[in-house]
Structure 1
């Protein structure tokens, strides 16, 4: 049962990552690309968290914290950059 859930989760996370990459590539504006990059990072966080849950170890918790902080700081800085560009 756990193997089936792991395969289903892998497929769903892979599809989500591919759709986010497509939006990054095809996005018409910078903000679309920023949101897609944030979605891709959230997908990566979900994948790392799922891997930690399936293998029953908590050693990846610092990795999850660093990735989430990186995503927050990156999103805020890119949005501030985009607002400055549009204000000119």
Structure 2
């Protein structure tokens, strides 16, 4: 039962990633693209956690944590650049 739910979750998260990628490419303006990038890395974290559950390995959880930290820093840097025009000010 759990394997069926995990496989369905893989498909749904992959679909969400495709929709986020579409918004990232087609987005009408910069804030929409930043939000799509943020959503894309959150979906990649979900995909890694699901894969870690499927494989039974804790290594994927550590990779998801690293992606979360890098994604947060990237989102903050892009937002500061959008607001001020300079990141290190």
Specify which structure has the bigger relative contact order, considering alpha-carbon pairs within 8 angstroms and separated by 6 or more residues. 1
Structure 2, unmatched stretches of 5+, are none
Separation in structure 2 between the aligned mates of residue 67 and residue 42 of structure 1, nearest angstrom: 9
- In structure 2, relative to structure 1, the CA distance for the partners of 1:61 and 1:4 (3 Å cut) is closer
- In structure 2, relative to structure 1, the CA distance for the partners of 1:7 and 1:61 (3 Å cut) is closer
Separation in structure 2 between the aligned mates of residue 60 and residue 42 of structure 1, nearest angstrom: 14
User: Is it true that 1:47 corresponds to 2:53 in the alignment?
Assistant: no
Q: Shift in Å at residue 61 of structure 1?
A: 2.7
Give yes or no for contact 2:3–2:54 (8 Å, CA) kept in 1: no
Q: Shift in Å at residue 25 of structure 1?
A: 1.0
Matched position secondary structure for 1:60: helix
Aligned residues: 85
- Alignment RMSD: 1.1
Matched position secondary structure for 2:59: coil
TM-score normalized with structure 1 length: 0.89
Structure 1, unmatched stretches of 5+, are none
Separation in structure 1 between the aligned mates of residue 79 and residue 24 of structure 2, nearest angstrom: 15
Match of 1:73 in 2: 73
